[in-house]
Amino acid sequence: MKIAVVGTGYVGLVTGTCFAETGNDVTCIDIDEKKVNSLKNGKITIYEPGLEVIFQRNLEQGRLNFTTDLAEGIEGAKIIFLALPTPPGEDGSADLKYVLTVASDLGPILKEYAVIVDKSTVPVGTADKVHAAIKENAKVDFDVVSNPEFLREGVAVDDFMKPDRVVIGTTSEKAKKLMETLYAPLVRQGNPVIFMDEKSAELTKYAANSFLATKITFMNEIANMCELLGADVDSVRKGVGTDTRIGKRFLFAGIGYGGSCFPKDVQALAKSAQQVNYDFRILKSVMDVNEDQKTKLIPKIKEYFGGDLKGKTIGLWGLSFKPYTDDIREAPSLYNIEKLVEAGAQVKAYDPEGMENVQGQIGEKITYCHDAYSAINGADALLIATEWPVFRTPDFEKVAKLLNNKVIFDGRNLYSPEQMKDLGFTYVSIGRET
């Protein structure tokens, strides 16, 4: 099938590449000429494990094409995906200017029936708005479908190829059939394609992300209680997670959730609620707790150094908001850097993928090191912000030798408190014995 994807950011590029891999003829369209040229020349623009190899293959075999020209890109496409940014506006609600501009541009250039798919995370009611924007100047029949994506950064290709479920919001039989055909190769293992109306599909995305953010936040609050009561959050996690109604995943306490999705989507759903005069109290608490959780270890670091961090050097392991990505949006590391620098400390950091982006954002405010050990060489303490595998089993003898004090503040609970005690470290983690 010939399909088009408008927007070659994270979602658009993964969507386009993966649909090319399942045999479709895909054209990706973006206004950013530099990006399009780079992609055309085989240079991938994002870091995502496993994507590059299928990107190269499909580019070479001619199933994956890039252009800056919308009319040329959608020529003959039966399905046109909109994978455009929906950044939070000043009031926290999603800003639809990119989506609606492209929708208006599409109207006059559609030459035959096509399904226009909202892939971006958009507020309930957006499919109707997109429909209206296209219809204004459309000369042919078309349908607008909501098909939210549930990809996690770092495992996006796997999530795309083997989705738990595919949610498709449409009331048109014609659109339903086309979408079913497109997704058929991805749901062979029996995972469902769930059809519903457009609004329910739009809300499903916000509900899923907000629920997951709430699940993490709930465990973070339990961890905070564990610290006050002398209980152990790892044991509690195992104890509750084995209840199949609760499930084992997304119960890991830490220094808060980050990334480009959870913070933005929780905020946008709260804003939607406000707009319909609904007081969504849980969401307000989730945002509140997460805000505090991100820098939860700072007072403990200060306390260790007698209240004063002036002239201290903190070695920081992890900058990206989670492992296997170079994405630093809303990363807890950045909030910690801000607080540490504000308190007069110096920060020496290492991250396997995120350093370039941090340097682009905050410049030389901190020192960037080429490996984990150089970041703690001569540092007064180690702070861990991201659970990259390379930090999980370090040479503790070396760590002890390089640090001025044998103290680790672990925001991701990587080590066992017993082992740390045996090794003679002062070890402060989240919701566990110190």
Residue ranges in contact with ligand UGA by CB under 6 A: 121, 149-153, 209, 212, 216, 250-252, 254, 257-259, 261-262, 265, 321-322
Rounded to whole angstroms, the maximal C-alpha distance in the chain is 74
What are the DSSP calls for 96-131, one per residue? -HHHHHHHHHHHHH--S-EEEEE-S---TTHHHHHH
* Beta-bridge partner residues of 426: 407
Nearest approach in angstroms of CB 363 to ligand UGA is 24
SS3 153: coil
Nearest CA among 279, 262, 261 for reference residue 270? 279
Pairing of strands 79-82, 114-118: parallel
Rounded (5°) CA angle 225-430-404: 140
Closer by beta carbon to ligand UGA, 234 or else 265: 265
Annotated binding residues for NAD(+): 30, 35, 86, 121, 153, 264, 329
Annotated binding residues: 30, 35, 86, 121, 150-153, 205, 250-254, 258, 264, 322, 329
Closer by beta carbon to ligand UGA, 209 or else 336: 209
Nearest CA among 74, 156, 95 for reference residue 324? 156
Tokens encoding 133: 């924007």
Nearest approach in angstroms of CB 251 to ligand UGA is 6
Q: How far apart are CA 238 and CA 226, in angstroms?
A: 14
What are the DSSP calls for 350-401, one per residue? E-TTTHHHHHHHHGGGSEE-SSHHHHHTT-SEEEE-S--GGGTS--HHHHHH
Q: Which of 18, 28, 226, 261 is catalytic?
A: 261
Nearest approach in angstroms of CB 102 to ligand UGA is 19
Handedness of CA 169, 175, 179, 184 (dihedral sign): positive
User: In the β-sheet with 313-317, what is the strand arrangement from edge to edge?
Assistant: 367-368, 346-350, 313-317, 381-384, 407-410, 426-428
Closer by beta carbon to ligand UGA, 19 or else 425: 19
Helix and strand counts by DSSP (H, E) for the chain: 18, 14
Nearest approach in angstroms of CB 419 to ligand UGA is 22
Nearest CA among 112, 111, 110, 106 for reference residue 130? 106
SS3 3: strand
Closer by beta carbon to ligand UGA, 212 or else 403: 212
Are 88 and 94 in contact by the 8 Å Cβ rule? The answer is yes
* Beta-bridge partner residues of 348: 315, 367
Nearest approach in angstroms of CB 232 to ligand UGA is 16
Nearest approach in angstroms of CB 202 to ligand UGA is 13
SS3 95: coil
Nearest approach in angstroms of CB 354 to ligand UGA is 12
Q: Is 261 a catalytic residue?
A: yes
Closer by beta carbon to ligand UGA, 323 or else 417: 323
Closer by beta carbon to ligand UGA, 259 or else 431: 259
Annotated binding residues for substrate: 150-153, 205, 250-254, 258, 322
Closer by beta carbon to ligand UGA, 73 or else 254: 254
Orientation of helix 355-362 relative to helix 332-342, angle to 10°: 50
Closer by beta carbon to ligand UGA, 73 or else 259: 259
Chain centre distance of CA 416: 28
Nearest approach in angstroms of CB 237 to ligand UGA is 9
Active site residues: 261
